[in-house]
Amino acid sequence: MKPGMVLFCKNFVFEDGTHKNKLFIILSHPRDNICLAVKTTSQKKWRDDKKEGCNNKDGYFFVKGSSNNKFFEEDTWVIMEQVLLFKCENIKAALDSGDVIVITNLAAPFVGELRNCLKSSDDISEEQLAYLK
């Protein structure tokens, strides 16, 4: 696992018990067998505002679809207000089984922008912040 890996998860189970395919971005190197990740969405119903870049006070980073040197073809919100900690061994097992697929590795400068946005967010805990150091 490394920062910038974009993972496609088949049938991710959400907090409400629903299942849906979902993209995640790994933003940390493994630490104590844990990787920090954030979800993405291209669902326009999630937000109406589309201010490009870091909107940490509103809990997201917006990427305009087909922006230069970025992976996302559609307008995409990287959701900073829902930070996830995954066990690396679980990700590796899901990769081995095909339930998770590595889609791409994002460019380091863009990953740095995402990490800096998350670091300055009101939504990140001290525990989660430690994974970004």
Task: With CA atoms as reference, report the closest residue to 102 among 33, 19, 30, 1.
Answer: 1
Q: Which residues contact 54 (CB under 8 A, 6 or more apart)?
A: 61, 113, 116, 117, 120
d(CA 130, CA 132): 5
Who wins on pLDDT, 58 or 36? Answer: 36
Strands 5-13 and 100-105: antiparallel
Task: With CA atoms as reference, report the closest residue to 122 among 79, 60, 36, 59.
Answer: 59
| pLDDT computed for residue 114 by the predictor | 95
Predicted TM-score (pTM) of the model is 0.88
Compute the average pLDDT of residues 91-103: 94
Who wins on pLDDT, 106 or 44? Answer: 106
For residue range 48-73, list pLDDT tens digits in order. 677 889 998 888 999 888 765 567 88
> What domains appear along the chain, each with residue ranges and CATH number?
5-130 (2.30.30)
Task: With CA atoms as reference, report the closest residue to 26 among 124, 122, 117, 115.
Answer: 115
